[in-house]
């Protein structure tokens, strides 16, 4: 690897990349690949993958895939490539474990992550995650049992609007309002009667 291909480490270079002794990118800088390393590491931790040895194995695999793509197009960001590769690898592993190759991307991602959480896969089988060749059978069975079951297909139906029946009270109130609208004098008398009743009540309360 030439000095032009990969720049030397800077003073703030984190030592994480040094643990991947087999990873030797031909393009990009160490700072770029270290940032990609940190992004994948954080993503694994978000999925409760805390085993450091298994983390290193998965990260090296992801970065190698990203490095091959970066060689073909050095203008791409290694961090973006690493994020795309970890997502691709996880989706393929999820599909294999749940036997759901034809499931849409978002639905498979949601079901598989819930299955991982319910089966407690990171704790019970810390080396199983993304291990395509050596995933224990009991881990696969636990994920299958924990996966969300798909609901029935949506059915389109026609809803005929119906008038709302509120009973007799609304009808009586409506008739009363119609009568008051036709006879303004009655409406005025009722208003004065209401006002007199309120004043009488106030007077009675203040006299106690």
The domain locations on the chain are 15-146, 169-206
Place of tokens 């990009």: 28
Q: Which residues contact 104 (CB under 8 A, 6 or more apart)?
A: none
> Which pLDDT score, from 0 to 100, does residue 159 have?
63
Compute the average pLDDT of residues 42-58: 90
Instruction: Identify whether the C-beta of residue 64 lies closer than 8 Å to the C-beta of residue 20.
Output: no
Query: Radius of gyration (Cα) for the chain, nearest Å?
Result: 35
Residue of higher predicted confidence among 23 and 171 = 23
pLDDT at 102 over 60: yes
Cα–Cα distance list, 90 to 59, 128, 146, 198 (Å): 12, 12, 17, 74
Q: What does pLDDT average to over the chain? A: 77
> Which helix (H) or strand (E) is 184 found in, with range?
helix 184-206
> Which pLDDT score, from 0 to 100, does residue 61 have?
92
- Residue 136: Cβ within 10 Å count: 14
pLDDT at 83 over 70: yes
Residue of higher predicted confidence among 76 and 127 = 76
Compute the average pLDDT of residues 70-91: 94
Compute the average pLDDT of residues 139-150: 71
pLDDT at 188 over 80: no
Prediction pTM value:
0.58
Structural tokens at position 93:
């592993």
pLDDT at 62 over 90: yes
């Amino acid at each position: 690897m030439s000095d032009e291909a990969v720049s030397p480490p800077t003073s703030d270079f984190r030592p994480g990349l040094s643990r991947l002794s087999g990873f030797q990118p031909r393009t990009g800088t160490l700072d770029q690949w270290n940032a990609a390393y940190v992004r994948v590491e954080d993503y694994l931790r978000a999925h409760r993958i805390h085993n450091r040895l298994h983390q290193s194995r998965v990260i090296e695999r992801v970065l190698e895939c990203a490095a091959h793509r970066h060689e073909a197009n050095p203008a791409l960001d290694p961090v973006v490539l690493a994020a795309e590769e970890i997502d691709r690898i996880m989706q393929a592993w999820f599909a294999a474990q749940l036997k759901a190759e034809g499931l849409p991307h978002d639905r498979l991602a949601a079901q598989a992550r819930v299955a991982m959480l319910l089966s407690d896969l990171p704790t019970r089988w810390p080396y199983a995650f993304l291990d395509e060749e050596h995933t224990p059978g009991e881990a696969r069975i636990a994920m299958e049992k924990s996966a969300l079951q798909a609901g029935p297909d949506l059915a389109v139906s026609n809803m005929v609007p119906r008038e709302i029946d509120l009973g007799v009270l609304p009808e009586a109130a409506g008739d009363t309002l119609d009568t008051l609208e036709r006879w303004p004098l009655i409406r005025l008398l009722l208003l004065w009667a209401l006002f007199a009743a309120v004043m009488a009540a106030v007077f009675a309360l203040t006299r106690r």
